[in-house]
Amino acid sequence: MQPSIKTKQSKKIDLTTVSIWASFMLIGLAFTVYGPTITYLVADYQISLGQAGLFISFMAMGRMLSVIISGVLTDVFGRKPLLIMGTFFLTLGLAGIGSLSWFTGGLIFAGLAGIGHAMVDTSASAAITELNPENVSKYMNISHMFFGIGCLIGPLIAGTLLTFNINWRIIYILKAIIGLSITLLLAFQQFPQIEKSNNSPFNFKGMLSFSVLLLAGVIFLYSGVGHSLNTWIHRYIEEISGLAVFFAASSLAFYNFGLTSGRFVCSFFTEKLGYKKTILILSCLSFCAILLALLSRTDFLVVLGFGLTGFFFGGLFPTTIAIACNLFPEQRGTITGVLITLAALGSMTIPVSIGYLAEFYTLLFSFRILIIYVAALIVISLLLYRQEQ
């Protein structure tokens, strides 16, 4: 009888893991929904491009304001309730924006989607480490690979539907239906019991250690540089290439494809190499790749460099979260929330600094400042690795 019980439990855990991967994919689908539909959104809501940008800002604000409290709540109430609420809020946000033509209401739903994003980020990351305690980094990398898959297929779905002149609202409703299906799938899964802590859920003292500060530095720089690449690649290529449109699109696509495939490949060797050694190696290789991208004058090498940068960047975020969750097994959600907040700060500050520098000098000059940031990433990664030694 015992073997059959084990098999049954294994199947439950496997399906639960798959449902968590699906929730990460949903984040990617929501994350990329605005770009392909922004022109239609402007026309239907009768707003300016600047006002349309507020949809993205409100989603980011909802995530930023709720990510730490979401982490604390998932440590108190468990992963499943927060994960279900997160996917539901993402679904509600997509459905609301796709159903309304009321600007203020649309912003409210964008904020709800951001809150859902935060809830899924923290609870799903914590849950995946508990379901796979012996291969934390491997499953974290695979989980974030599914976020990348969502980012890749989201625009493809939108582009295909818009090509056939299907109303833009269908894109939001279709993604909301996917979100509702994932929410229902999660509702029938069995999650492991969380470890109860005797400490207050709002106790952040242990999270101010040197190790956590180094992990925060890794995630801050990775996120800031990554979002800078996503934001400014198009304009950068325009300044250095005569084939701006083609190579801009190719570079951005190669970067995001590299990010997704890098996480998949990283899942195979992180456990053998060690988490901190993996971060150090990836940081060094990322530095070489971004040098190729930003110092080359050949279009092919520029595109290749951005693709390799994404590939080597891929494993940094999930492996960093895996280290943090192992450091704080009783506060996995809370520490994830803290680090994701630092990631959000990086994505809010570094891309803006690149833009302001470009106003005073050139984008060619300011974009190359990213090389310094990646060099700093190597220094922090080396300090992190030496701590382990």
Q: 188: which DSSP letter?
A: T
Instruction: Please count the other Cβ atoms lying within 10 Å of the Cβ belonging to residue 6.
Output: 9
The amino acid that residue 104 corresponds to is T
pLDDT at 10: 43
pLDDT at 249: 56
CB 143 within 8 A of CB 321: no
Percent of the chain whose pLDDT exceeds 90: 31
Chain position carrying tokens 């996503």: 230
- pLDDT (average), residues 218-225: 92
CA-CA distances (angstroms) from residue 242 to 228, 247, 248, 271, 367?
22, 9, 11, 44, 18
Average pLDDT along the chain? 83
| Model confidence at 227: pLDDT above 90 | no
pLDDT in tens, 19-76: 999 999 999 888 878 777 877 888 888 888 678 778 877 888 888 888 888 888 888 8
Q: Which domains are present in the chain?
A: 8-187 (1.20.1250.20), 205-388 (1.20.1250.20)
CA 288 to chain centre: 23
| Model confidence at 205: pLDDT above 70 | no
Among 260, 236, 262, 261, CA closest to 249: 236
Structure-token pair, residue 86: 């997160």
At 194, the pLDDT band (50, 70, 90 cuts) reads low
CB 335 within 8 A of CB 327: yes
Chain position carrying tokens 């101010």: 208
pLDDT in tens, 170-192: 999 999 999 999 999 999 988 87
Structure-token pair, residue 201: 């859920």
| Model confidence at 90: pLDDT above 90 | yes
Which residues, 6 or more positions from 250, have their beta carbon under 8 angstroms from its beta carbon? 303
Which residues, 6 or more positions from 322, have their beta carbon under 8 angstroms from its beta carbon? 129, 136, 137, 140, 270, 275
